[in-house]
Structure 1
Amino acid sequence: MFKDHYGNQITTGVDQARDHYDRGVASFLAAGHDAADQFAKSIKADPGFALGHVGLARAQMMSGDMASAKASMAAAKTCIDGATAREQAHLNTFDLLFQGNPVGCRAAVKSHVQDHPRDVMVAQLCSSVFGLIGFSGEVGREADLLAFTSALMPHYGEDWWMMGIHAVSLCETGRLAEADRLMEKSLALNPRNANAAHFKGHTLYEMGEAHAGLAYLKDWIKGYDNRGLLHGHLSWHIALHSLHVGEIDDMWTYIDSGVGPGGSKGLPINTLTDTAAILHRAELAGIAVPPERWAEMSDYAAKYFPETGQSFADLHVALAHAMAGNGDRLAHVVDTAKGFAADLVRPAAQAWGAIARQDWQGAVDHLIPALAQTERFGGSRAQRDLLELTYVNALMRLGRDAEAKHTLAMRRPVLATHPPVAGLQ
C-alpha cells in the first residue's frame, strides 16, 4: 500500500495509479485544466482504486459534467471495500456533496479533518470563498473560514496550496499584508498556481492597487490555458481592474474573450455572475452597456438557472432579468427565492427591479436589508461591492451625495478615494 503526496495511505499497489493521482490532485488544487485527465489515467492504471474515481468525479463536477461525475462516484462505491477507514470516510463525505447535502457535507469535512488534516481533497471542500463555508449563507462565515484554514496551517508546513488558501482567508478578513506575503510564498513554490494568482488579484484590489493588479494579472494569465477553471474569473478581475483605471476598450476585450457566454469556458455560475456584475458596474461608472448584452444575459440566466436555490447565482439572475426588462422572469425569482440566503435575495431582486424603473427611493429601501448581511450571499468582498456601489449610486440619484460619500467611506473605504461611480469622483 502506497501513500499519496500528503502522506495519506491509499489502497493501490500500482505506481502509475499513485503518481497520476498525485498529479491530478496537484492540478486540481492549482485550478489546472488537466486534473480529470490525470485522475482518469490513475484509474486506468488501477481500475480498483476508489479514490482515483472520487478524484475524477470531483474534477468532472468542477467542469460542469455532472452526469459523468455521478457515474464516477458510482464506480468508486463498487471498489471501496477493503479501503482504509480514512478512504471510506473520504468517499462518504463526497457522497454527501453529490447527494445535494451541503450542510451535512460541511459538517463531515470539519469532522474528518480533525483526524485527517492532510486529506487535502476533503479539506479543500470548505476552503476559499467558493467552498462550503463560503456558500453557507451564515453570518460570520468569513471568520469561520479563517478559523478553518488557521487550524489546518500547522499540519501543512511549506505547502503552496495551503499557503494560498489561508492567504485568501486573511485577505477577506482585512489582514492584507499577511495575505500578500503568504501569497508570494505560495507562488514562489508553484508559480502556476491559479488559485494563488487569483487571490493575489483580490489582495491588490483590497489594497486599492488597481494598476498593479491589472499589470500582474494581465501578465500571469498569458501562460494559463483557457480551459483552466479560473480563466474566466481571472478575466473578470482584469476587466474590473481595467474599468477602475479607465481602460474601457480592454475591459470589453476581456469580457468578450474570457468572461461572457461567447468567450468563457468556465462553469455557468461564473459566466453568469461575473458577466452580470461587470456589466452593471460598468453602468455605475457611466459606461453605456448595449441593451442586447443584457438581453443575452437574461436568456443565459433563464437557460442555466431557471429555478432559484443558489443564492449567489440568484442575486445575479435577478439583476440580468431586471436590466433586460424581463419582468416576468424577475418576478419568478422574487416569488420563488429559496436557498441559503433567500431572505436577502428577495429584497435585492426587488431593488434591481426598482433600479430598472429608475425608482431610486424604492431601490434604497430594498437594498438596506440586503446590505445588512451581504456576506451571507457568498462570494468575495470584491464581488459584493456590486451591492455597495449600487446603493451609493441610488443615494446620489436622490441628491444625497454627502450621504453617499460617507456610506462608501464607512463601509468600503478602499473605494472611497477613487469611487468607481459616475459623478462621485
Structure 2
Amino acid sequence: MSLKDYRGAAVSGASDKALVQFEAALAGFHCYVGNPLAAAEQAIAEAPGFAMAHALRAHLFLSGTEAAGLAPARESIAAAAAAARTDRERLHVAAATALAEGRFEDAVERFEDILLDHPRDALALQMAHLFDFYRGDARNLRDRVVRVLPNWTRDLPGYHALQGMLAFGLEECGDYARAEEAGRRACEIEPRDAWAHHAVAHVMEMQGRVKDGIAWMRDREAFWAPDNMIAVHNWWHLALYHLEQEDIAAVLALYDGHVRRDRSAVVLDMVDAAAMLWRLQLREIDAGPARWSEIAEAWAPLAGDGIYAFNDVHALVSFIGAGRRDLVDQQLETLRRAARSSGSSNAAMSAQVGLPVAEALAAFAAGRYDSCVRWLRPVRGIAHRFGGSHAQRDLLDLTLIEAARRAGQDNLVRALAAERLRAKPASPLAQRYYLQAGTKAAA
C-alpha cells in the first residue's frame, strides 16, 4: 500500500523518511527559502523509486527558465517516468516533458488536468502558476487558484501559498484591494512566504504607494531577505520605490549592496539587474561602465540560448548598455532564429514580442528614436504574451515615452504621461514628462 502526501495524494515508491524530505522541499519551494533541490535529492537518496521526488527535482530545474537546467531536468523526468505508478504521477511526467521541450501551453494543460482530479496538488498548482506568469496569462494567474480554493482549508500544509499565488493573480488582473488582502493573509499564516510578500509589493508599486511600499519592505526584511531565492527580486522592488522618489543614491546602494552583491548567475536575478540599469539610463543617469560591463559579462554565456524571449530581451539590454556590439548582434540573431522556429512557445513569444522589442531597443541605442517608437507602439497591447509582470513590462512603456520625447513626438509623450499620472498622480517622472510635452506643444 502506497503512502500519501500531506494533502492526501498517493505517492509511489516513497518511504516515511523520504516523504518528510519531499514535504520539506515542497514547503521551501512555496516560500522560495532554503534549498528545496537539496531536500528533494535527499528524498531520492532515501527512496530511489519515489516518483514524485524525481518529478519535483525536474520541476525545480525547469522553474528557472534556464538552458542549463534542461539536462538535469531530463534526467529526473526519465527517472520519474520509470517510477510513476499513478495517473497523477504520469501527468507530472508529461507536464515536465512538455516544459523541457519548450511547449509551455501543453505543460500548463497537463498541470490543469492534474488539478481537476487532485485540486490539492500544490506542486502542480505552483508550477502552473509560474508558467502562467512566464506566459503573461493574468487570467489564469488568478483563476487557476480560484478553481481549486474550495477544496482547501486553512489547516492544510501549503494553504498560505495558495493565498500568495491568488494575491499575485489578483494584482495582475488589477484587483488591488483583494490582492493586498490575500497577500497579507498569506504572510500572517507564513511570514516567510516571499511570493506573497512580493505580491503586496506589486500592489503598492502599481498604485504608486511609494512610502507604504518602502515601509512594507523594510518592516518585513527579516522574513523575505535571508536565504531566499527571490530576495534579489524583492530588493529590486525596493529599489523601484526609491527610483520613483528619484533617490538615485539609494537605488545604486541597493543595486551594489543587494541586487549584484553576489554577482549572481541566476537568470531571474540578472533580469532585474539589467532592467534597473536600463531604467536609470532612460533617465539619463550614468550608472558607470563597470556596472554595465559586469552584468553584460554575466549574460554573455547565455546569448545563444534562445529558450525564453523575455530573458533574451534583458540580456540584450545589458549588451547595449555595455557597448558590446558583438553580443548585441549575437543576441539579435538568437531572437531572429527563435522567431523563425516552430514547435515551441518561445517561437511565438519571440516573433510577436521579443524580436520587435529587441529591434526597438537597438534603434533607441543607435539614436533612431522615431524607429524605436514605430517598433514599440504596436507591441504595447500584446507585450504580456512574452511574460513578466506589469511592473517588469513597464520597462517597455518607459522606453517608449523616452523615445517619443527624444523624437519630439510631444503629443505621444503627453498621452503616455497622462496614463502614468492616472495610475501614479504623485510620480515626479510622469509629471515632468507631461509638463515638458505641454510646454513644447504650446511654444
| Same structural fold, with TM-score higher than 0.5 when normalized by the shorter chain | yes
CA shift for structure 1 position 402: 5.2
**What pairs up with 1:284-295 in 2 under 5 angstroms?**
284-295=282-293
**What pairs up with 1:314-333 in 2 under 5 angstroms?**
314-333=312-331
Which residue in the other structure is 1:31 paired with?
Answer: 32
| Alignment-mate amino acid for residue 286 of structure 2 | A
| Alignment-mate amino acid for residue 153 of structure 1 | L
| Alignment-mate amino acid for residue 26 of structure 2 | V
Report the RMSD for the aligned CA atoms in angstroms.
2.5
Query: Helix, strand or coil: the match of 1:349?
Result: helix
Over residues 216-249 of structure 1, what are the superposed CA-to-partner deviations in whole Å (9 max), with x where a residue is unaligned? Answer: 2233333446542201111111121121123322
Return the alpha-carbon distance in structure 1 between the equivalents of residues 312 and 197 of structure 2.
Answer: 27
Which residue in the other structure is 1:133 paired with?
Answer: 132
In structure 2, relative to structure 1, the CA distance for the partners of 1:411 and 1:108 (3 Å cut) is farther
Which residue in the other structure is 1:277 paired with?
Answer: 275
CA shift for structure 1 position 378: 0.8
Query: Helix, strand or coil: the match of 1:315?
Result: helix
CA shift for structure 1 position 170: 0.7
CA shift for structure 1 position 295: 2.9
Which residue in the other structure is 2:89 paired with?
Answer: 87
CA shift for structure 1 position 416: 5.0
Which of residues 75, 87, 100 in structure 2 aligns to 1:71? Answer: 75
Q: Between the two proteins, what is the percent identity of the paired residues?
A: 26
CA shift for structure 1 position 155: 2.1
CA shift for structure 1 position 273: 1.5
- Asked if 1:202 corresponds to 2:195, the answer is no
| Alignment-mate amino acid for residue 58 of structure 1 | H
Q: Which runs of 5+ in 1 are unaligned?
A: none
Return the alpha-carbon distance in structure 2 between the equivalents of residues 411 and 142 of structure 1.
Answer: 21
Which of residues 101, 104, 107 in structure 2 aligns to 1:105? Answer: 107
Which residue in the other structure is 1:170 paired with?
Answer: 170
Query: Helix, strand or coil: the match of 1:417?
Result: coil
In structure 2, relative to structure 1, the CA distance for the partners of 1:418 and 1:250 (3 Å cut) is same
Return the alpha-carbon distance in structure 2 between the equivalents of residues 291 and 55 of structure 1.
Answer: 41
| Alignment-mate amino acid for residue 7 of structure 1 | G
Equivalent pair of 1:33/1:225 in contact (CA under 8 Å): no
**What pairs up with 1:384-399 in 2 under 5 angstroms?**
384-399=393-408
Equivalent pair of 1:211/1:245 in contact (CA under 8 Å): no
Equivalent pair of 1:284/1:420 in contact (CA under 8 Å): no
CA shift for structure 1 position 96: 2.6
**What pairs up with 1:25-424 in 2 under 5 angstroms?**
25-62=26-63, 66=69, 67-80=71-84, 83-127=85-129, 131-136=130-135, 141-158=137-154, 159-224=159-224, 226-260=226-260, 262-265=261-264, 267-268=266-267, 270-337=268-335, 338=338, 339=346, 340-343=348-351, 344-401=353-410, 403-410=412-419, 413-420=422-429, 423-424=432-433
Equivalent pair of 1:334/1:345 in contact (CA under 8 Å): no
| Alignment-mate amino acid for residue 198 of structure 2 | H
Over residues 138-164 of structure 1, what are the superposed CA-to-partner deviations in whole Å (9 max), with x where a residue is unaligned? Answer: xxx222333322212222233211111
Return the alpha-carbon distance in structure 1 between the equivalents of residues 254 and 263 of structure 2.
Answer: 10
> Which 10-residue stretch deviates more, 403-412 or 14-23?
403-412
Query: Helix, strand or coil: the match of 1:76?
Result: helix
Equivalent pair of 1:408/1:415 in contact (CA under 8 Å): no
Return the alpha-carbon distance in structure 1 between the equivalents of residues 273 and 405 of structure 2.
Answer: 25
Return the alpha-carbon distance in structure 2 between the equivalents of residues 273 and 143 of structure 1.
Answer: 24
In structure 2, relative to structure 1, the CA distance for the partners of 1:312 and 1:416 (3 Å cut) is farther
In structure 2, relative to structure 1, the CA distance for the partners of 1:335 and 1:118 (3 Å cut) is same
Return the alpha-carbon distance in structure 2 between the equivalents of residues 164 and 86 of structure 1.
Answer: 24
In structure 2, relative to structure 1, the CA distance for the partners of 1:280 and 1:13 (3 Å cut) is closer
| Alignment-mate amino acid for residue 92 of structure 2 | H
CA shift for structure 1 position 172: 0.6
Return the alpha-carbon distance in structure 2 between the equivalents of residues 222 and 55 of structure 1.
Answer: 28
Return the alpha-carbon distance in structure 2 between the equivalents of residues 373 and 172 of structure 1.
Answer: 15
In structure 2, relative to structure 1, the CA distance for the partners of 1:12 and 1:412 (3 Å cut) is farther
Return the alpha-carbon distance in structure 2 between the equivalents of residues 115 and 46 of structure 1.
Answer: 26
Return the alpha-carbon distance in structure 2 between the equivalents of residues 400 and 37 of structure 1.
Answer: 54
Return the alpha-carbon distance in structure 1 between the equivalents of residues 390 and 364 of structure 2.
Answer: 22
Return the alpha-carbon distance in structure 1 between the equivalents of residues 125 and 214 of structure 2.
Answer: 31
| Alignment-mate amino acid for residue 135 of structure 1 | Y
Return the alpha-carbon distance in structure 2 between the equivalents of residues 345 and 416 of structure 1.
Answer: 30
Equivalent pair of 2:205/2:391 in contact (CA under 8 Å): yes
Equivalent pair of 1:273/1:313 in contact (CA under 8 Å): yes
Equivalent pair of 1:393/1:421 in contact (CA under 8 Å): no
Return the alpha-carbon distance in structure 2 between the equivalents of residues 384 and 277 of structure 1.
Answer: 10
CA shift for structure 1 position 405: 3.2
Return the alpha-carbon distance in structure 2 between the equivalents of residues 295 and 34 of structure 1.
Answer: 30
Equivalent pair of 2:54/2:80 in contact (CA under 8 Å): yes
Aligned length in residues: 415
Return the alpha-carbon distance in structure 2 between the equivalents of residues 369 and 353 of structure 1.
Answer: 16
CA shift for structure 1 position 109: 1.5
Query: Helix, strand or coil: the match of 2:114?
Result: helix
Equivalent pair of 1:232/1:266 in contact (CA under 8 Å): no
Query: Helix, strand or coil: the match of 2:131?
Result: coil
Equivalent pair of 1:164/1:186 in contact (CA under 8 Å): yes
Return the alpha-carbon distance in structure 2 between the equivalents of residues 373 and 179 of structure 1.
Answer: 23
Return the alpha-carbon distance in structure 2 between the equivalents of residues 186 and 322 of structure 1.
Answer: 40
Return the alpha-carbon distance in structure 2 between the equivalents of residues 233 and 19 of structure 1.
Answer: 29
Return the alpha-carbon distance in structure 2 between the equivalents of residues 377 and 404 of structure 1.
Answer: 25
| Alignment-mate amino acid for residue 126 of structure 1 | A
Query: Helix, strand or coil: the match of 1:246?
Result: coil
Q: Which runs of 5+ in 2 are unaligned?
A: 339-345, 436-443
In structure 2, relative to structure 1, the CA distance for the partners of 1:264 and 1:201 (3 Å cut) is farther
Return the alpha-carbon distance in structure 2 between the equivalents of residues 287 and 267 of structure 1.
Answer: 26
| Alignment-mate amino acid for residue 94 of structure 1 | A
Equivalent pair of 1:284/1:421 in contact (CA under 8 Å): no
